[in-house]
Structure 1
Amino acid sequence: MRAGGAEEVAKDDRDVVSAFRAVLADRVGKERFDLWFGANVRLERAGDGLVVGAPSGFFSDFLRINFRRHLEAAWETVTGSAAGIEFRVDRTLPDPHAPLAPAQPPQTDGAPTSDGADEPASDAARRRNGQGTAGRRRFAALESFVVGPSNRLAYAAAELAVRQPGELSPLLVYGPTGVGKTHLLEGVWTAAKRWRRDITAIYLSSEQFASGFLQALRGQGLPSFRRKYRDVDVLILDDLQLLCGKKYTQVELLYTIDTLLREGRQLVLASDCAPRDMGDFAAELATRLESGVVCPMEPPDYPTRLGIVRYMAHRMRLDVPEAVVDFIASHLTRHARQLSGALCRLKATSQATGEPITLRMAEEALGDLIRA
């Protein structure tokens, strides 16, 4: 091809990509487009298709999961072609989500013991009931979360929510029971308090949010309720599916989310399914949640289960041979709670018999769990 012809092709490609960017910005909104498709992402035409270059695996996975259908639709609008979208990691691009140095060095694991509204809601309730906080369960830490292919994107998004609050907001993780959603949310609370001592962070379940809202309505305490949850830096809400069918609580949560987003605050939520799949759930609330970051979490694969068993055994101070670790991870495949239950049973069996944990003991003690 002559030089002039090559230049014309290159110019045509640039024009197509420029038009594509404009259409994509219209589809996803200028704010989201500037955040995720600015100078950190390279868009290139390759034949009839599009190559999306991102600076990291997390960035690339996020674009693929959250924007693929928008990318495909915008490309078809501009080119008339439904050709595929290819996602590539390009380390030469600047990564705005690269790890930052924490403001203060991390502490040992477990949740900080803070007072007032920024402690876990369950602990605040115990204080009001005069039960105190001695011996209370410590919150999980991000450092103890075992990362694998089934949860890598959710974990990376959670880390970013801690390091740069408000940039990925709202952040919603969803998946079946036992995949680590609560661990991840508790880890965000713990890490947020470690990174910035002055931060106001609240963790509570959706049931607690709903109960508090109803009590506020009945007791004329609505202004106080709203100040508590709308003046925070980080609001963490677990078990969102429990709000299905609770129309007025959903409206209150929608207004709370809108207020926090306007202020650039961070929301982190968890549910057992994606917002669009929740029954009797307000469409406007689902749309608001999907305008942020939605990350699926799946049951752990074999390598992740190995890591979970090893970590739990270390945490429980159990001497578990590698053959037993492999046996548990190979046969108990549904969720992490199975793995924890298996180790608890082996610990009890070992203490009752006075014998060390062996593969034979595991086969006998865990037989019914494996057959179930």
Structure 2
Amino acid sequence: MGVTAQSVWDNCLDFIKDNIQPQAYKTWFEPIIAVKLTDNALSIQVPSKFFYEWLEEHYVKILKVSLTKELGETAKLVYIIKMENTYGNKQPFTEKIPSSNRSSVKSQDVDIPLNNKSPELRNPFVIPGIRNVKIESQLNPNYSFENFLEGDSNRLARSAGLAVSAKPGGTSFNPLLIFGGVGLGKTHLAHAIGVDIKDKYPEKTVLYISAEKFTQQYIDAVKKNNRNDFIHFYQIIDVLIIDDVQFFSGKTGTQDVFFHIFNHLHQNGKQVILTSDKAPVDMQDIEQRLLSRFKWGLSAELQTPDFETRVSILKNKLYRDGVEMPEDIIDYVAKNIKTNVRELEGAIISLIAQSSFNKKEITIDLARIIVEKFVKNTKREVSIDYIQKVVSDYFQMDIDTLQSKTRKRHIVQARQLAMFFAKKFTKASLASIGSQIGKRDHATVLHACKTVDNLSSTDKQFRKYVEDITKKLSV
């Protein structure tokens, strides 16, 4: 049997396979199709211009060696870039294997300059797959570790973030998932890690993106028929930070494409950082295979800061803004705004603004007015302890009985109601609710919530329990 394009390419692939990482081979060589062999020129088809550029940038030497081995010194390589949406222009680019890394690329009939900003290939941030492309990291330099103050509520997440920024992709914290309620600093910490990595490793490609924007880009890529370019773009990132990953819920196409990108990055030792307002165990409508990957690394929770940490945050903010404020006023704000760092800083900014615009001295009375506005405008979050107290008082039992291991029906129902209301009125994770209500696991809490829902719709007396306790907690 004579030499064919396929047999030549198969031999080249055997050689290439032995000399590069398996994952790189799978990503960059498996999709290539050998088309024809004429006059010592092998034509290969690649899925996009970006793909072609990537091969040229990273694998030109190995392609040259393998092809020369098969066809001798006069070997030529012709790329056929099979692009969608190019209005019928599917002319191959011919490329004589060059002696240097840079190549002289001619198109046969149509001159398509390689550095054009082709609309079909619009890269999500700058220019798609063009050589020496500079991907803007989209990081906010104001979010740094210096102004992310450490306290008991965030120590684990902050320490893990520092470890990741010292050695991205080289720790067991991959992926690092930072989760917690609104305004506790998830986005701040994610940016701080990225900013620190850019300082320490300027050559690394770091990219911050919200899950919402990632989804939108994916929809656009599908619309324009360049899903491959979208995937290849994300596969070249060294440190990928995705904010609010719970936004992927129910979006199966986006989850699928992220699954492939995540696998590629993880297998190649790249770092993935995710933030979410829920722990993996509480994420609804996220595929199991993706959730299991979220758990490969470390899930670190940001909790509500304690009083001392809140005071430190306020003092740090005032110091950075060059403003002095009496201790008792700082203490007053810290005591009264408990659940949210963003609101804490917002209240202090309002205080400073009020005093400077209205030429008023900052007094406790002024602080009280500002704080009341903030507290009134935010839905009061009740604590799990308070919920347990209200439920146990309602059923005239003490909290120890509520939390006990007994299987007596009325006590089990009281406990299930406490779990149901904890899920409804707090931002705590299921695991956290379970551990606080009698050291149960998250599955027990999930079961309790379903039981309460079912009983509410079938049992009139039980529905009254739910309504009465809801009123007490909503006061």
TM score, norm. by length of structure 1: 0.63
In the TM superposition, what are the counterparts of 1:141-156 in structure 2 within 5 Å?
141-156=144-159
Equivalence for 1:161: 164
Equivalence for 2:138: 120
Match for residue 225 of structure 1 among 230, 246, 249: 230
In the aligned structure 1, how far is the partner of 2:229 from the partner of 2:273? 22
Equivalence for 2:207: 202
Larger RCO, structures 1/2 (Cα 8 Å, 6+ apart) = 1
Shift of 1:342: 0.6
In the TM superposition, what are the counterparts of 1:168-183 in structure 2 within 5 Å?
168-183=173-188
Q: The residue matched to 2:135 in structure 1 has which SS?
A: helix
CA contact (8 A) 2:336 2:371 kept: no
Shift of 1:340: 1.6
Shift of 1:155: 0.4
Equivalence for 1:69: none
CA contact (8 A) 1:146 1:307 kept: yes
2:365 is aligned with 1:360: yes
When residues 216 and 146 of structure 1 are mapped into structure 2, their CA distance, relative to the original with a 3 A threshold, is same
Match for residue 254 of structure 1 among 256, 259, 263: 259
Larger of the two Rg values belongs to structure: 2
In the TM superposition, what are the counterparts of 1:1-372 in structure 2 within 5 Å?
116-120=134-138, 138-166=141-169, 167=171, 168-371=173-376
Shift of 1:139: 4.0
CA contact (8 A) 1:139 1:190 kept: no
In the aligned structure 1, how far is the partner of 2:286 from the partner of 2:185? 24
Amino acid of the residue matched to residue 322 of structure 1? E
Shift of 1:314: 2.1
CA contact (8 A) 1:178 1:299 kept: no
Q: The residue matched to 1:294 in structure 2 has which SS?
A: strand
In the aligned structure 2, how far is the partner of 1:196 from the partner of 1:312? 29
CA contact (8 A) 1:319 1:357 kept: no
Shift of 1:352: 2.5
When residues 251 and 139 of structure 1 are mapped into structure 2, their CA distance, relative to the original with a 3 A threshold, is farther
In the aligned structure 2, how far is the partner of 1:286 from the partner of 1:303? 35
In the aligned structure 1, how far is the partner of 2:228 from the partner of 2:374? 50
In the aligned structure 1, how far is the partner of 2:289 from the partner of 2:339? 33
* Unaligned 5+ runs, structure 1: 1-114, 122-136
* Unaligned 5+ runs, structure 2: 1-132, 378-475
In the aligned structure 2, how far is the partner of 1:325 from the partner of 1:259? 48
Amino acid of the residue matched to residue 329 of structure 2? V
In the alignment of these two chains, the number of paired residues is 243
In the aligned structure 1, how far is the partner of 2:144 from the partner of 2:350? 24
In the aligned structure 2, how far is the partner of 1:346 from the partner of 1:267? 39
- 1:229-253 CA distances to partner (integer Å, 9 max, x unpaired)? 1111100000011110101101111
Q: The residue matched to 2:159 in structure 1 has which SS?
A: helix
- 1:165-190 CA distances to partner (integer Å, 9 max, x unpaired)? 11221110111111110000010111
Amino acid of the residue matched to residue 214 of structure 2? F
In the aligned structure 2, how far is the partner of 1:214 from the partner of 1:364? 47
Q: Point out 4+ residue stretches in structure 1 off by more than 3 angstroms.
A: none
In the aligned structure 2, how far is the partner of 1:326 from the partner of 1:349? 18
In the aligned structure 2, how far is the partner of 1:203 from the partner of 1:324? 37
